[in-house]
Amino acid sequence: MSDRVVIVGGGHNGLVAAALLARSGRDVVLLEARPELGGLAATRELIPGHRVDAGSHDLGMFRRSVMEELELGGHGLELIEAPAVAAVPATADSSAVVLWPEVARTVEGLGQVSRRDAAAWPGFVFELAERAAALEPLLSRPLELADMGRLLIAPELLRTLSSPLEESLRERFENPSLLAALCGVALPATGLGPRANGTGWPLLFHCALGGSDRLAPVVRARGGAGALASALAASAAASGAAIRTGAVVSRILVDAGRVAGVRLADGERIEAGAVISTATLSVTFLDLIGAPLLEPRFVRRVLNVKYRGAAARLALSLDGLPAFRGLERPALTGRIVLAEQPDDIERAADAAKYRRLPPRPWIEAALPTALDPTLAPAGRHLLLATVHHLPFDLEGGWATGGPELLARVAAELERWAPGIGGLVREHAVLLPTDYEADYGATAGALHHGEMNPSQSLWLRPTASAWAGEPLPVDGLWLGGAGCHPGGGLTGLPGMIAAVSLLRG
C-alpha cells in the first residue's frame, strides 16, 4: 500500500491539510481542478486589472496558530485588520450604525441613535465573548458523544445558540440598523432568516473563531484572499508537497473497502494509501466514490444534507469611493450590511423558500480597495456586493433570473449609495450556478451545507466519522467546509483532517 496522501481540492482547507502533512514528512499530492489555487477563497482577475475575491475574503476566523506553524508570514502572507467590523449606512428612513472592535468607540456612535442600545452594548459584547469562549474549544477538534452531553447541560450557551437571533438581540437592543448589522454579520450563507430558531449559532461561531475578546473582526490578506492560498501553497511546497492545478479528479478509487488512489479525468491514475477529500459530501460520495459502493442507508444520509443558502456576487469597478450615507471612510473597511432591519433579511429568506428572488435583496457589501488599493488600477475602487438567501433552484431558472437579480441589486445599491451607478466602469458576476460549476459548491452553497444547528457540531461530519459512525471507506478522510466546524475561512476542517490522519 502506498504511503502517499492525495488531497482532492486546493481550496484553503486542502492546502492547510497538505502543508501540515508535508511538514510532518508525509508524501503529499494535492490536486486542484481549476487553474488557480484557493477554491472559494481564490482571487481572480474577473475584471481586467482587478484582483477580485471569488468567495470568502475575510481571514478573521483563520486559526492563528496554523498561520504561525506554517510560517505563512515568511511565505508572503500579510494581514491587514480592518478598523471597522460592520456598518449599516443611513437611508431616508433609518440611521447609520458602525460597529468597531473597540467597545468604547461603538458605544459612542450608538449613543447618537439610541441611548438604551449604547448602554447595553458592553454587556452584550462581554456575554457573547463569554459564551463564545465556552464554545471555542469544541470547534477545533472532532466532537465526541460526551460533548453533546456537555452542551445539553450548559443552559445559557444552549439557549443562545438555539434561539432566533433577532429575538435574543431584541432583549437588549431596539435600533433597527444595529439589529440589521448584527444579523448581517451572522447570517450570510446560512439560508435562514433571523426569526428562525438556531440562528444564534452562526453569530456565536463567528465570535468564537474571531478571537473571542472582540466581535468578529474583519481581517484581509494584502493582495486578496488568494494570497492566503499562495502562502499556504508555498509553505506546503517548501515541505515537499506536490501541488498540481488543472488536475481534475474524476474518481476516488476504492479497492475492497479501502481507498487505492484517484483517477484523473484524463485517465491518469495516482496511487495513494489515503485520500483527503475537501469536496462537498455530495460530490465526494455520490460523484467521486459513487453510490453503488455505499450502503443505501449511508447514501440516503448524503442525499439528506441540506445545501440551502446560495449566494451571488457582483463585482463592480468604480471610479471612486461610493457615498454611503452616514459612513466615513474608516467605516467602509469592514462588512457593509445593506439592510434597514432584520425583516429585510427575513423576507429574502421567505422568497427563497418559494424559489423566488427577493423583491428587495439584502446585500453584504465590501470595499476591499478601501484597505488595500493594490487590488485595482490607480483611481479605481472595487465593490463586492454579495446577495445572500437566494434559492439555487430558482423558479424559471437563472438564465433569466440572473439579469433580473442584477437589476434589483443595482436599484438597491443606488438607494443606499445615491449616484453609485454613475461610478460603475466595469462589472463581473458570479451566480449560484457559477459557484456550483466553477467550484463544485453543491447547489451554490458557499458553506458546503447549511450552517444551522441540525447540520453543525455533533451533526456535521468530521475527518473520519459522521455522527459517531466511521466513514464507510477506509483511508478516506474528509477535510472540507462540509465538515466540522463548517464553512468560512477557518482552516479548521483541513487542520482537523491532517491531525486526525497523522494520529491514524
Residues that bind another protein (CB under 8 A): 145-150, 152-156, 158-159, 162-163, 167, 171, 192, 195-198, 300, 304, 306, 343, 346, 350, 353-354, 452-454, 458-459, 467-469
Dist. CA 10–CA 14, nearest whole Å: 5
CB of 99 to another protein, least distance (A): 23
What lies within 8 Å, CB to CB, of 105 at 6+ separation is: none
Radius of gyration over every alpha carbon of the chain, rounded to an integer in angstroms:
22
**Bridge partners, residue 384, by sequence:** 315, 366
Q: Are 161 and 458 in contact (CB under 8 A)?
A: no
CB of 158 to another protein, least distance (A): 7
Residue 271 φ then ψ, to 5° = -75, 145
CB neighbourhood size of 73 (10 A): 12
Cβ proximity to another protein: between 57 and 448 the closer is 448
Cβ proximity to another protein: between 292 and 304 the closer is 304
CB of 203 to another protein, least distance (A): 14
CA atoms within a 13 Å half-sphere pointing along the CA-CB vector of 305: 29
CB of 162 to another protein, least distance (A): 4
Q: Are 118 and 367 in contact (CB under 8 A)?
A: no
User: Strand order in 424-430's β-sheet?
Assistant: 97-99, 86-88, 335-338, 363-366, 381-390, 310-318, 424-430
DSSP letter (8 states) at residue 113: T
CB of 135 to another protein, least distance (A): 15
Cβ proximity to another protein: between 148 and 323 the closer is 148
Most distant pair of Cα atoms in the chain: their distance = 68
Cβ proximity to another protein: between 29 and 352 the closer is 352
Cβ proximity to another protein: between 32 and 344 the closer is 344
Cβ proximity to another protein: between 105 and 150 the closer is 150
Q: What angle do CA 275, 280, 286 make, to 5 degrees?
A: 80
CB of 141 to another protein, least distance (A): 15
Cβ proximity to another protein: between 158 and 321 the closer is 158
CB of 307 to another protein, least distance (A): 12
